[in-house]
Structure 1
Amino acid sequence: MNQTKNGLTAFLRRHPETWIAVGYFAFYLLSFFALERITEPRFIVHCPLDDLIPFCEWGIIPYCSWYLLLVGGPVFFLLKDKGDYLRLCFIMFVGMTICLALYVVLPTGLDLRQPIPRDNLLCKAVELLRTIDTPTNVCPSIHISSTVAVGIVTVRSKLFARRRWVKVLMVAECLAMCWATLVLQQHSVLDVAAGAALSFALMPIAWKLWPQKE
Structure 2
Amino acid sequence: MKAFFQKYKHAWVLLYAFLYLPWFFWLESRANLPYHVIHVWLDDKIPFVEYFIVPYLLWFVYVAAVFLYLFFKGTKQEFYRYCAFLFTGMTLFLVISTIYPNGHLLRPTEFPRHNIFTFAVQILYQTDTPTNIFPSIHVFNSIAAHRALVNNPRLGRNRLIRDASLVLMVSIILATMFLKQHSALDVMAGIVLGTLMDQIVYRMEFSFSRERVPKRKRETVI
TM-score by length of structure 2 reads 0.87
Asked if residue 12 in structure 1 is aligned to residue 11 in structure 2, the reply is no
Partner of 1:61: 54
The farther-off stretch of 151-160 and 55-64 is 151-160
For 1:111, which of 94, 105, 109 is the aligned residue? 105
**What corresponds to 1:33 in structure 2?**
25
Where do 1:75-114 residues align within 5 Å? 75-81=68-74, 82-114=76-108
Moved over 3 A (4+): none
- Structure 2 unaligned segments of length 5 or more: list them: 217-222
Q: Check 1:151–1:162 CA distance in 2 against 1; reply closer, same or farther (3 A cut).
A: closer
Is the CA contact 1:57–1:184 (under 8 Å) kept in the aligned structure 2?
yes
Q: Which residue of 175, 195, 217 maps to 1:180?
A: 175
The Cα shift of 1:41 comes to 4.7
Deviation at 1:92, TM superposition (A): 0.4
1:150 aligns with 2:149: no
Q: Which residue of 2 aligns with 1:131?
A: 126
Post-superposition shift, 1:67?
1.2
**Larger helix proportion of the pair:** 1
Identity of aligned residues (%): 33
Q: Judge conservation of contact 1:112–1:185 (CA < 8 Å) in 2.
A: yes
> How far, CA to CA, are the matches of 1:9 and 1:198 in structure 2?
37
Q: Which runs of 5+ in 1 are unaligned?
A: 1-7
Amino acid aligned to 1:104: T
**Maintained 8 Å contact 2:150/2:157:** no
Counterpart of 1:46 (choices 20, 27, 39) is: 39
Q: CA deviation at 1:189?
A: 0.9
Measured after TM superposition, the shift of residue 9 of structure 1 is 3.5
RMSD (CA atoms): 1.7
